[in-house]
Chain A
Amino acid sequence: MSDALVELDRVRFVYPGGEFALHLEHLELAAGEKVACIGPSGSGKTTLVNLIAGITVPETGRVRVGGDELTKFDEGCRRARRVDRVGLVFQQLELLHYLSALDNILLPFRVSALPLTAAVRHRAHGLAEAMGIGHLLARPPARLSQGERQRVALCRALVTEPELILADEPTGNLDPDTAGVILDLLFAQVERSGAALLMVTHDHAILHRFDRTIDLRTLLERHA
C-alpha cells in the first residue's frame, strides 16, 4: 500500500446519459504536495476534483484519500469525511448571500457535527486577518468585491484545517492582479497548514509555483 495522501487507481467514470467518459490508470498526491491540474475544457478536471472529494464515485476503480477508500464508503460517510478533512474552493464562489462573511467562513461547522468552539472562531478571525479581510467579517457577500469574496471562500476551505485542499479554478473569475494576490494567500496558507493542494487552472504562467503539474491531455484516455 502506498503512503500517498491521494491515490486513484484504474478509475473509470461516466456521467449518466452523457457521452463523456473518464479513464484514469493511476494518480497519486503526497501529503503537503502542491499539484496543478491543467487541460482543455471538458477534459475532466472538475470530474477529477469531484472524484477525489468524494462528491461523485467512479463506476470502477479505487479512490483512496488519507488511507480511506472512498469507494467503499456510503454517501453519508463520504460527506462527513469531506466536511472534516477536505477544503473545497470553487470557481463559482458559492457563498450564502444571507450570511455574513464570518458566518460563511464558519459554514462547515454550522452544517456538520464539527464543534464550533471559541478556538475555531479564533482561527477563523486569524485566517481572515491573514487574508486581509478581518475588517469585513460582518458584511454580507453582496457588499464585498469579487476578490474579497474569493478570500472568504478560501478561509471557508481552510478553517477546518483540512489535510487536502481541492481548488477548481479559484481565480478564473478574477482579474490578473487580484488573482495573483489570491494565489499568494492560498499558497501561504497551504504552506503554513501543511495541507496538500490540487488546483485546477488554465493559467500556465503560475505552474512554476507548484511542485508538480498534471496535464490531463497526457494522463487521461478520452473516449467520445
Chain B
Amino acid sequence: MRPGLWYLSWRHLRTHWGQTLVLALCYAVVFFIPAASQLLIGRYEEELMRRAEETPLVAGARGNRFDLTLASLYFRQADLEPIPVSEADRLQDEGGALIIPLNVRHTARGVPIIATGPEYYDWRGLHATHGTPPLQLGDVALGARVAERLGLGVGEALFSDQPDLYDISKPPALKMRISGVLGPTGAPDDEVVFVDIKTAWILEGISHAHQDVEEVDDKYVLGRSKEQIVVSPALVAYHEVTPENVATFHYHGDRSLLPLTAVLAIPDSEKSGTILKARVNATKLYQMVVPARVIEDLMSIVFRVKTLFDGLWGVLAGATVAMTALVFWLSVRLRAGEMQTLERIGCRRFTVTGLYVTEFTTILLASALLTLGALGTVSWLLPQWFRLV
C-alpha cells in the first residue's frame, strides 16, 4: 500500500473526525464486549479455581453446595444451616485429615469476620506483617486490604456489627482488639478479618460474660437457690474482652452443639479424603463437597449465560457491520466526484479502492487501539474496583 494513500486516508478521516470517531467507537464496543467478558470470566474462573483447587474438601449442613463453597472459600455471606462443632470433632477424631472449623456469619464495619482455628493460618500460608494472628478471645487480625482500607493497626479496636440495633435479645457489638495485620496474599483472605473460633460464639450471643452473679446488685437477681441464681436480662453482658474479664466468658448448654458454618478438611491422602467424604455424606444431615468440582459446575452455568451474551454480541456486531456498510455506501456516493477526479488524473482503480480500504483499516486500527486501551484499563482497575473472588 502506497504511503500516499495512508496520508490521504488520514487527512480525510481527520477532516471528518466526527464520523471517524463514531465508527471507531462502534467497532471498539463490538471488539470490547466479547474481549472484556472473556477477560473477566477467564480471570474469574482462574481465581475461583485456584482457590478451589487449594481446598480439597469442605463439609457443611445439607443444602446448596454453591452457597457452602462460596461461603467457606470466598467468604460470601450466605444464610447457611450451621454444622455443630461436634461434627468437626468427630472428623478430627477419625484422623487422616487436618480439620479446620470456620464460622462466617458476622461482619465488622461491613467486612466479613472469619472465625477459625490457628491451623488455618499455617495451612493458607498467612503471616502477620505486624503483630500476631488472633491468639486470644476477643483478638482480631486484619486482612491486608482491610487494614489499608480502614486505616487501622495493631492495638486499635474494631467493633463487630450488631445484628439488630433494636432487638435487645440480640448480642451487642463486640469491641475487638486488633492483634495483628496479615500480609497480602491476593486471595479473599486479604478482604476479611480473622478471630478465634470462640470469639464467633460471643458474636453469636451464645458465649458471654458478665459481672459475677454473687456480686451483682439485688435488683438484677430474679431468683436464688442453692444450685443457681437467676439474673435479669437487664444485666448487661461485657461487650469487650479484657485481661480482667477473659476468664469469665462462658456458655450455657452443650458445647458440642456450638455452631460452625463449615469445616475445611485437608486429607493426608486421596484415600483418606474419599473415606472422609463418604462418611460425611452417609450421614444425610451433612454434606462434604470437593470445591473444585463445585466451581466447575458453577462456571459451566456462567459459560451457558455467556453463550447467550455471545449471541447478543453477534446481533450487535451484525448491526455495526450493517451500519458501516451503510456509511461506506453513502460515503462512496458522496465521494463519487472525488474518485472520478483521481481516476481522471491517472490514479489506478486499485488505488481508488485502496483509499477506502486504508480508511477502513485505519478505523479498525483506531478501534483496536481503543479496545486495547479499554481492556488494559479494565484489567488494571478491576482488582481495585472490586475483588473478583
Indicate if A15 sits at the interface (CB-CB under 8 A).
no
- Which of A94, A99, A109 makes the CB contact (< 8 A) with B337? A94
Inside 8 A of A92's CB, which chain B residues have their CB? 337
The answer to whether A116 touches B348 (Cβ under 8 A) is no
Residues of chain A from 80 to 97 with CB closer than 8 A to chain B in the complex: 80-84, 86, 88, 90, 92, 94, 96-97
Tell me if A107 is interfacial: C-beta within 8 Å of chain B.
Answer: yes
Within 8 Å by CB of B16, from A76, A79, A90, A98, lies A98
Q: What residue in chain B is nearest A95 (Cβ atoms)? A: B341
Answer yes or no: B387 CB below 8 A from chain A CBs.
no
Q: Provide the A55-88 mask, 1 if CB < 8 A to any CB of B, else 0.
A: 1000000000000000000011001111110101
Most buried by A among B7, B12, B342: B342
Q: Are A111 and B12 in contact (CB under 8 A)?
A: no
The reply to whether B16 and A83 form a contact with Cβ atoms under 8 Å apart is no
Q: How distant is the Cα of A108 from the Cα of B16 in the complex, in angstroms?
A: 22
Contact A107 B11 (CB under 8 A): no
Contact of B344 (CB < 8 Å), options: A76, A84, A88, A116: A88
Chain A, range 88-131, C-beta contacts under 8 Å to B: 88, 90, 92, 94, 96-99, 103, 107-113, 116
Q: Is B343 an interface residue (CB 8 A)?
A: yes
Interface presence of B8 (CB below 8 A):
yes
Q: Residue of B at shortest CB range from A76?
A: B348
Task: Please give, as numbers and ranges, the residues of chain A lying within 8 Å of B342 by CB-CB distance.
Answer: 107, 111
* Pair A108/B8 contact, Cβ less than 8 Å: no
Within 8 A of A (CB), among B1-24: 2, 4-5, 7-8, 11-12, 14-16
Q: Chain B: interface residue count, which band?
A: 20 to 34
Closest A residue by C-beta to B15: A98
List, in ascending order, chain B residues with CB within 8 A of A79's CB.
343, 346-349
**What is the bound-complex CA distance between A13 and B348, given in angstroms?**
23
Task: Give CA–CA (A46, B345) in the complex, Å.
Answer: 15
Q: Which residues of B contact A90 (CB under 8 A)?
A: 341, 344
Contact A110 B345 (CB under 8 A): no
C-beta contact mask, B344-376 vs A, less than 8 Å → 1, else 0? 111111010000000000000000000000000
* B46 interface contact, C-beta 8 A: no
Q: Is the CB of A110 within 8 A of B5?
A: yes
Q: A53 in the interface, Cβ–Cβ < 8 Å?
A: yes
Q: Tell me the nearest residue of chain A to B351, going by C-beta.
A: A111
Chain B: CB-nearest residue to A75:
B349
Q: Give complex CA distance A82, B346 in Å.
A: 5
Closest 5 CB pairs of A and B: A83-B346, A110-B4, A82-B346, A98-B15, A94-B341
8 A-B contacts, Cβ less than 8 Å apart?
A76-B348, A79-B348, A99-B8, A108-B345, A110-B4, A110-B8, A111-B351, A112-B347
